[in-house]
Structure 1
Amino acid sequence: MFEMSLPWWELVLRGAAVYAVLLVLMRLSGKRTVGQFTPFDLLVVMLLSEGVSNALTGGEESLVGGLIAACTLLGLNALVSRLSARSDRIRKLTEGEPVVVGYGGRILDERLRAEHVTREDVLEALREADCDVADMKLALLEADGKISILRQAKDMAAHLRG
């Protein structure tokens, strides 16, 4: 139960390597949030965890080995969170920045394709904001995957009165 087949430091290095590679891959995969996962996205995440489990533990099946791997991942996550809170540069690198996906009543389809977001996602955000496409000043795909809508100034005054 407490005897390990690998040295503890190898589990830490494996955990750090897997964390770093997955962080990069998740950043490259787009800005879809957990709440926006399609069944396909969920399946990929589940298979991803199974696929990297052996790389993470190197076949180590002891309780201590699993706990070392878990602590490494949680520790790295806490470290990245703290560094991101203190540094805009690290935050932009790990979390990304908002991207304009609509402007002046036009939805920018090329930006949507580049960010792996559908036109329907923007239309849904417009409906939630009770805003027509023509009244949209700006649509932003936030770093967390949420789409924010800003209305034209003239429409805002009418909307506030009505």
Structure 2
Amino acid sequence: MEDIQDILALDAGFVEMFTRGTAIYWALFILLRLAGRRDVGSMGVADFLVLVLVADAAGNAMAGDSTSVGDGIIVVATIVGWSVVVDRLGYSSPLLRKWLEPRRVLLVRNGRIVARGMRQEHVTRTELMAQLRLLGIGRLDEVQRAYIESDGQVSVIRMSERTDGETSTLEE
């Protein structure tokens, strides 16, 4: 049986594993950002399959020929580290946030579908109606605003009973 030092010994070295982890993290980040929020926000069987295949391919690319637990720990720490850095940068810098996180897109305004937003996000009328039904909305004219958020979820502001002209404080 191998002793713990052999198991944790670095096969490829810290710099190589850090570089591999960094390269794969940013390549996947950019690819997923370009893929669009709908593809990331919901997960069907095909989406899950792509996730598993990407994880396997990325794992092989990050590890190379390494079989060391130590090398694996470096890669995992690198990925978690980049995730924390990106999260903190997005929080503290509005300028970077617009590049790191997609803005919400308007899909419905005052009970009418916004075709531009639907096209931009490749959302069909059927998909939108299904999301509205899941939120307990039976008719389009009940919706003041509907957005696809940065995480791919649909959010809705219902028509209010007020007639005083006030707007929602939830809209930016």
Same fold (TM over 0.5): yes
Matched, 1:26 2:47: no
Using the size of structure 2 for normalisation, the TM-score is 0.80
Counterpart AA for 1:93: W
Shift of 1:22: 0.6
Question: Would the alpha carbon gap of residues 146 and 33 (structure 1) be closer, same or farther in structure 2, given more than 3 Å must change?
Answer: farther
* Match of residue 52 from structure 2: 46
Unaligned runs of 5+ in 1: none
RMSD (Å), alpha carbons: 2.2
Q: Which residue of 2 aligns with 1:149?
A: 156
Query: Gaps spanning 5+ residues in structure 2: where?
Result: 1-6, 164-172
* Maintained 8 Å contact 2:41/2:151: no
Query: Which of these residues, 2, 7, 10, is aligned with residue 13 of structure 2?
Result: 7
C-alpha displacement at 1:54, in angstroms? 1.6
CA distance in 1, matches of 2:77, 2:125: 40
**Percent identity, aligned pairs only?**
32
Task: Work out the number of aligned pairs and report it.
Answer: 156
Q: Output the TM-score relative to the length of structure 1.
A: 0.84
Give the letter aligned to residue 41 of structure 1. Answer: D
**Residue in 1 that maps onto 2:68:** 62
Moved more, 117-126 or 138-147: 117-126
Aligned-partner Cα distance in 2 for 1:99–1:35 = 14
CA deviation vs aligned residue, 1:110-130 (integer Å, no higher than 9, x gap): 533432334333213322142
Larger deviation: 58-67 or 131-140?
A: 131-140
